[in-house]
Amino acid sequence: MKMQGNTILITGGGSGIGEALAHRLHDLGNRVLIAGRRLQALKAAAAGRNQIVPLELDADDPQAVEAFARQVIADNPALNVLVNNAGIMRMEALDRRRDLGNAEATIRTNLLGPIRLTNAFIDHLVNQPDAAIINCTSGLAFVPLVATPTYSATKAALHSYTVSLREALKGKVEVIELAPPAVQTGLTPGQETREGYMPLADFADETLSILSAQPTPPEILVKRVGFLRFAESEGRFAETLAALNPKG
């Protein structure tokens, strides 16, 4: 992936990983559009950086996504990189009947959101030089956290979707998967300071270092996520699942 001179759209760019990546990519010399539901958070993330542009978007609304894409392309014809980063993580108990609102919301945001955004921009991206799509999945795509089953499942599905997308767009658009470990962000309450989670700045720095390699790896994997990403191929899936989900 080219690291300078891009016009980049990042969903979920108002906080956490999206904001950290937006700042670093902006500082490398890129124009960065950050999109999400919370306009005030987006404006705060863009403060002091004149080439970061906040844009309000409800990615759960199919019509809103299509209208958003048309406007973004009209206003930013040089757009060549899409980063599908927006996501939510909800706790769910599987051992009793429950309301499925959290599960359905997670699927809409984490899986249908990236599919809709990619679909809305794909005809534009295939005609752009140095085009790339980055899908943010998770280490939990490879070993699930039982307390967040739908989150883990959506990330596993997005991993698979990204593999298909990469093959379908070979030679046209570079398709990259970013699979973070547990990072200190606001994804869940108290996570910003949770012990044992990777500091956000360290994650962003290591991610940018890997992303800038030439050729860019198809999967951006910081060292900490290897414990999850390679559990099955290294023959330790059962032990890793148990370690991630201790009983009692």
Per-residue pLDDT tens for 191-244?
999 999 999 999 999 999 999 999 999 999 999 999 999 999 999 999 999 999
This prediction has a pTM of: 0.96
- For range 30-56, the mean pLDDT: 96
**CA–CA gap between residue 4 and residue 29 (Å, rounded):** 5
Coil vs helix vs strand at 36: strand
Tens of pLDDT, residue by residue over 72-99, are: 999 999 999 999 999 999 999 999 999 9
Is residue 226 packed enough to be buried (19+ CB in 10 Å), middle (13-18) or exposed (0-12)? middle
pLDDT at 248 over 70: no
Tally of CA atoms within 13 A in the half-sphere of 154 that contains its CB: 25
Q: What is the arithmetic mean of pLDDT over 168-181?
A: 98
End-to-end alpha-carbon separation of the chain, Å? 45
- Is the C-alpha dihedral spanning 106, 110, 112, 117 positive or negative? positive
Output the CA–CA distances (angstroms, integers) from residue 116 to 90, 98, 120, in the order listed.
21, 28, 6
Per-residue model confidence (pLDDT) at position 247: 87
- What pLDDT is stored for residue 183 in this prediction? 97
Q: Which amino acid is at 31?
A: R
Mean pLDDT of 4-20: 97
Q: What is the pLDDT of residue 227?
A: 98
Taking alpha carbons only, the member of 74, 67, 39, 33 closest to residue 53 is: 33
pLDDT (0 to 100) of residue 34: 98
Beta bridge partners of 40: none
Both tokens of 57, joined, read: 């978007």
Residue 161 annotated to the active site: no
The one catalytic residue in 142, 151, 161, 203 is 151
Could you say which of 3.40.50.150, 1.10.10.10, 3.40.50.720, 3.30.1360.120 is the CATH number of the domain covering 7-244? 3.40.50.720
